[in-house]
Amino acid sequence: MTAVPCDGTVTGAPLGRLDEKAKHTLFTGARTANTFTATPVTDPELTAIWELTRWAPTSANSQPLRVLFVHPGDGRDRLVKHMSEGNRAKTATAPAVAVLAADTRFHEHIPSVLPYKPELKDVFAGNDDLRAGTASFNATLQAGYFILAVRAQGLAAGPMGGFDATGIDAEFFPGGRFHSILVVNIGHPGKDAWHARLPRLHHDDVVQWA
């Protein structure tokens, strides 16, 4: 996967453009994986996924996404029991699994991540609706970045929303600060990993011009 290099520090410099292979990996050829090989996914590979994800933008640089990587064993068994019946086998057999969650107290980091406007921490602290909406929207946005980062690392992603979020939160985030939003199985695609490509909406169904 390659991109045309550019110097992002130069005003007016062109942005890099992904080649067709990279576009295929991230978008046009991307599928949700349903099976995986037994090839392990290493901790450095998982760390590399986050190292890509963290650079993508969020509003006010809020970065509310939190990631829990769950290894096979006791932790995986605790997770699987909260998955929907149709997803349990997928999560049980995936080489690696990530639970993605929104940090409801992300604003505590504002002075560090938005140093030119540290007072925004107090704005979020004093407005529960604003804080909750910002956490939910931006953590979900980052979850999309996370899936792309998995694919960029040469791995397959199996994102799933079929789980008992309340149960997972009680199991892994008992303090109530983190709220799970997505479970992502990660690995190398196995036999019959992909379902047939489903139709996508046409340009005329989606795009308007003003």
The answer to whether the beta carbons of residues 163 and 70 sit under 8 Å apart is: no
Q: Residue 85: give its domain's CATH number.
A: 3.40.109.10
* Domain-located, residue 62: yes
* Domain-located, residue 30: no
Query: What is the reported pLDDT for 3?
Result: 52
* Domain-located, residue 149: yes
* Domain-located, residue 52: yes
Query: What is the reported pLDDT for 14?
Result: 84
Query: What is the reported pLDDT for 46?
Result: 98
Range of the structural domain that residue 108 is part of: 37-190
The answer to whether the beta carbons of residues 64 and 103 sit under 8 Å apart is: yes
Query: What is the reported pLDDT for 75?
Result: 97
* Domain-located, residue 16: no
Integer CA distances (angstroms), 98 to 31, 61, 77, in order:
17, 22, 14
Which pTM does this prediction carry?
0.93
Query: What is the reported pLDDT for 12?
Result: 77
Q: Starting at the earlier edge strand, list the strands of the sheet with 65-70.
A: 65-70, 96-103, 178-187, 156-160
Which segments in the chain show pLDDT lower than 70?
1-10
* Domain-located, residue 181: yes
pLDDT tens, residue by residue, 64-94: 999 999 999 999 999 999 999 999 999 999 9
* Domain-located, residue 47: yes
CB atoms within 10 A of CB 31: 16
CB atoms within 10 A of CB 64: 27
* Domain-located, residue 147: yes
Domain count, the chain: 1
